[in-house]
Amino acid sequence: MRRTVIALLTSLLALTACSSGGSSTSTSATPNEADVVAWMDKVCGAVDGTVKAMSDEPNIDLSDPSKLKTGLSDWLGTKIGAVDKSIADLKGLESGPHPKSKELASTAEEGMGQIKTLLTDTKSKVDSSNDATQVVTAFTEMVSKAAGLEKTGADVQKKFDETGLAPAAQKASNCKDLQIASSATPTS
């Protein structure tokens, strides 16, 4: 179950990283392709820290309820910190070289915001739990909700493809890394 939630959240992160809303339109000023690729690389790089942070498993000790609670709470806190950093980095990328730079960065920020909400809500439930059953219930709810976020990530990916920026993302090394991460399948 732990790998399932990690895989689902990582998949959403990877799909959201280089995404946008709306369709592409021609503009009178054509951005320099190298600048757009470099910017896309930064956008994906901003998300990559969270993807890497989400790749480890929580320290869960089922034999000791207090360690279970503490381990999961600490793990969630670390992930929330990584998401906060990604959101801050994305905010700094809103003024990019492409006409839809702000829209692209904002869409990635929104996806990160959804993940942060899920993690924060789960951490709150874990921290206020009175026994191991409540901790496990909070974690199970997170897994269930993460599955819904995966569809959101797929919808965002579709919008990204519609902007015509997929070629720039394919050339950006950080985006390539995220595409590899998103192809990972849950193992349990």
DSSP, residue by residue, 18-38: T--SS-----SSPPPHHHHHH
Higher pLDDT, 143 or 137: 137
What sign does the dihedral 12-135-117-173 (CA atoms) show?
A: negative
pLDDT digits (tens, 9 = 90+) for 102-122: 877 888 888 888 889 999 999
Min mean pLDDT across 12-26, 38-52, 61-75, 147-161 is at: 12-26
Domain for residue 144, yes or no? yes
Structural domains in the chain (count): 1
Domain for residue 6, yes or no? no
Domain for residue 2, yes or no? no
Domain for residue 114, yes or no? yes
pLDDT given at position 109:
87
Domain for residue 21, yes or no? no
Q: What is the mean pLDDT of residues 127-137?
A: 92
Domain for residue 110, yes or no? yes
Domain for residue 108, yes or no? yes
Of the chain, the end-to-end C-alpha distance in Å amounts to 6
Question: Is the distance from CB of 136 to CB of 130 less than 8 angstroms?
Answer: no
Give the pTM. Answer: 0.78
Domain for residue 64, yes or no? yes
Residue 62 DSSP SS3: coil
Higher pLDDT, 63 or 183: 63
Residues spanned by the domain of 154? 33-182
